[in-house]
């Protein structure tokens, strides 16, 4: 049985058989090429969110596909009783490209952060020093495991699962005084994102990060950068910390690392690596040949195709064009971010959800964060031309946001009321989208629907 092209059945099976923890848009993708995705109806979309900063090489990259298929025909999984050539090579490549001396491989960002948290604690345990507390930032996001929701500085992620794992303190982001005040003799580590991606794309100030590093050195505190979202070229350097002129003791990666194949990594210095001894940590799948072969192919493509240069060039043009839109339309409050991780914040005349739906109707994929921010995290192979198409589409939509009853008011009218939505007020239902289709939306002919680039 294949249900691949039957959207009604796909949706029905999902709703009946998958745990309903996601708010899904009414679309399923069955084909991808470069920066484009195609749904069950054959409609084409320019992917400006890249599987949430994962699909760094886009879709159907020949080198990545060939590395995965070659490896799949040979050994997919060995195990951690034996040396794994692909794991050894990837660790070498990551250390060569970064501050790190040692790598631990796992399967996701949350797992990489769990490893970092455990290492920070065990590092002091083996030194016989009573330091265990980890300071993180308000509005941070570090994952969905029990440890990482405790690390995350947003109570909504941990409240239903209390009591929380103890030993985490949260302070305002970009506020060095608050951080200094929070440090105490039990502080083991400070853990930060360099751009807070999940809470609205908020970059750290360079002076703040440099002051944090100084504080860590002075007080003997470990510095952990969560680069799950910002790592692997996303911000125009291989790793985001390279934009800040400081190095951490520990860094975590996932998302783009495998170009779509699940893999996470925790990197650290030799000194900090002494905190893990044989048996202290592990993972059945971590460092498996398939994921490591994929990641090696990603790193090779970065070198051969000049991916980081592309991020820098496309990013600066995209920022320039988006900032022009900002001066043209008062409803754009800010355009912020680094490289190809960009947040566009609107005032209360525009809902992020409405904008995401408008863009979807026009053939562009973005994510909505909270009420007012849309996030862009496209494949890092995005071209200037494709970026220009996105800006044009946004311009078209914003042009129509004028007059007493603009399209966003119409979208709000079309949305079910709170009571009509059973599980969550923000849940997107297909009914909602069906009703949107009936609206007179600004030219919803897919702009992305042109020849493949
Ligand atoms: C900064 C950051 N850390 C950790 C995570 C968790 O990663 P994963 O979903 O792979 O567990 C995310 C995911 O969005 C993230 O953005």
pLDDT (tens digit per residue) in 6-63: 999 999 999 999 999 999 999 999 999 999 999 999 999 999 999 999 999 999 999 9
Nearest-CA residue for ligand 1 atom 13 is 143
Mean pLDDT, residues 369-381: 97
Q: How confident is the model at residue 411 (pLDDT cuts 50, 70, 90)?
A: low
Q: Is 143 in the pocket of ligand 1 (CB under 6 A)?
A: yes
Question: Residue 258 Cα, ligand 1 centroid: separation in angstroms?
Answer: 14
Mean pLDDT, residues 168-192: 98
Q: 356: Cβ–Cβ under 8 A, 6 or more apart, which residues? A: 25, 366, 367, 368, 374
Nearest-CA residue for ligand 1 atom 9 is 109
Q: Is 108 in the pocket of ligand 1 (CB under 6 A)?
A: yes
pLDDT at 5: 87
Q: Is 141 in the pocket of ligand 1 (CB under 6 A)?
A: yes
Q: How far apart are CA 94 and CA 308, in angstroms?
A: 15
Whether the CB-CB separation of 223 and 190 falls below 8 Å is answered with: yes
Q: Is 198 in the pocket of ligand 1 (CB under 6 A)?
A: yes
For residue 70, what are the CA distances in angstroms to 79, 110, 276?
A: 19, 29, 33
Q: How confident is the model at residue 350 (pLDDT cuts 50, 70, 90)?
A: very high
Question: Residue 283 Cα, ligand 1 centroid: separation in angstroms?
Answer: 18
Indicate which atom in ligand 1 lies nearest the CA of residue 145.
11
Structural domains of the chain ordered from first start:
7-60+307-438 (3.90.1150.10), 75-305 (3.40.640.10)
Question: Residue 396 Cα, ligand 1 centroid: separation in angstroms?
Answer: 33
Nearest-CA residue for ligand 1 atom 16 is 229
Q: Residue 317 burial (CB < 10 Å; 0-12/13-18/19+)?
A: middle
pLDDT at 401 over 90: no
Report the 10 Å Cβ neighbour count for 247.
Answer: 16
DSSP 346-371: E-TTS-HHHHHHHHHHTTEE-EEETT
Q: How confident is the model at residue 447 (pLDDT cuts 50, 70, 90)?
A: low
Q: How far apart are CA 27 and CA 8, in angstroms?
A: 10
Nearest-CA residue for ligand 1 atom 4 is 142
Q: How confident is the model at residue 425 (pLDDT cuts 50, 70, 90)?
A: very low
pLDDT at 433 over 70: no
For residue range 65-119, what is the model confidence (pLDDT) as tens digits?
999 999 999 999 999 999 999 999 999 999 999 999 999 999 999 999 999 999 9
Q: How far apart are CA 287 and CA 96, in angstroms?
A: 18
Q: Which residue among 143, 153, 201 has the greatest number of ligand 1 atoms within 8 angstroms of its CB, and so is best to mutate? A: 143
Mean pLDDT, residues 300-307: 98
Indicate which atom in ligand 1 lies nearest the CA of residue 198.
16
pLDDT at 317 over 50: yes
Question: Residue 228 Cα, ligand 1 centroid: separation in angstroms?
Answer: 6
Nearest-CA residue for ligand 1 atom 3 is 142
Q: Which residue among 52, 107, 109 has the greatest number of ligand 1 atoms within 8 angstroms of its CB, and so is best to mutate? A: 109
CA contacts within 13 A on the Cβ side of 424: 9
Q: What are residue 43's phi and psi, to 5 degrees?
A: -70, 140
Whether the CB-CB separation of 222 and 114 falls below 8 Å is answered with: no
């Amino acid at each position: 049985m294949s249900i691949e092209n039957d959207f009604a059945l796909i949706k029905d099976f999902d709703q009946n058989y998958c745990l309903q923890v996601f708010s899904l848009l009414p679309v399923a993708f069955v084909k991808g090429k470069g920066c484009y995705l195609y749904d069950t109806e054959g409609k084409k979309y320019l992917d400006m969110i890249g599987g949430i900063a994962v699909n760094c090489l886009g879709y159907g990259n020949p080198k990545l596909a060939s590395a995965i298929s070659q490896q799949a025909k040979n050994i997919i999984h060995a195990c951690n009783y034996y040396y794994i050539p692909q794991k050894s090579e990837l660790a070498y490549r990551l250390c060569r490209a970064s501050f790190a001396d040692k790598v631990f491989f796992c399967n996701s960002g949350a797992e990489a952060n769990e490893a970092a948290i455990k290492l920070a604690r065990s590092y002091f345990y083996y030194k016989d020093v009573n330091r265990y507390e980890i300071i993180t930032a308000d509005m941070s996001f570090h994952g969905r495991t029990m440890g990482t929701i405790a690390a995350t500085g947003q109570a909504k992620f941990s409240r239903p699962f209390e009591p929380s794992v103890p030993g985490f303190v949260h302070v305002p982001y970009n506020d060095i005084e608050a951080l200094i005040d929070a440090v105490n003799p039990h502080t083991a580590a400070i853990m930060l994102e360099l751009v807070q991606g999940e809470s609205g794309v908020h970059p750290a100030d360079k002076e703040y990060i440099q002051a944090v590093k100084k504080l860590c050195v002075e007080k003997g505190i470990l510095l952990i950068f969560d680069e799950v979202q910002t790592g692997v070229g996303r911000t125009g350097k291989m790793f985001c910390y390279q934009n800040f002129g400081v190095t951490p003791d520990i860094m975590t990666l996932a998302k783009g690392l495998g170009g779509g194949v699940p893999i996470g990594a925790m990197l650290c210095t030799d000194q900090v690596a002494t905190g893990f001894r044989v048996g202290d940590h592990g993972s059945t799948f971590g460092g498996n040949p398939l994921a490591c072969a994929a990641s090696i192919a990603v790193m090779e493509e970065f070198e051969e195709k000049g991916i980081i240069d592309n991020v820098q060039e496309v990013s600066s043009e995209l920022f320039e064009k988006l900032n022009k839109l900002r001066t043209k339309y008062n409803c754009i409050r800010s355009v912020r971010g680094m490289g190809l991780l960009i947040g566009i914040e609107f005032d209360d005349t525009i809902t992020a959800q409405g904008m995401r739906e408008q863009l979807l109707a026009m053939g562009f994929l973005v994510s909505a964060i909270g009420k007012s921010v849309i996030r862009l995290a496209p494949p890092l192979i995005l071209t200037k031309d494709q970026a220009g198409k996105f800006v044009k589409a946004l311009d078209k939509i914003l042009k129509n946001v004028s007059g007493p009853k603009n399209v966003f008011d119409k979208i709000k009218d079309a949305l079910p009321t709170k009571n009509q939505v059973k599980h969550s007020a923000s849940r997107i239902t297909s009914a909602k989208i069906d009703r949107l289709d009936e609206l007179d939306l600004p030219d919803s002919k897919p702009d992305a629907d042109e020849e493949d680039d």
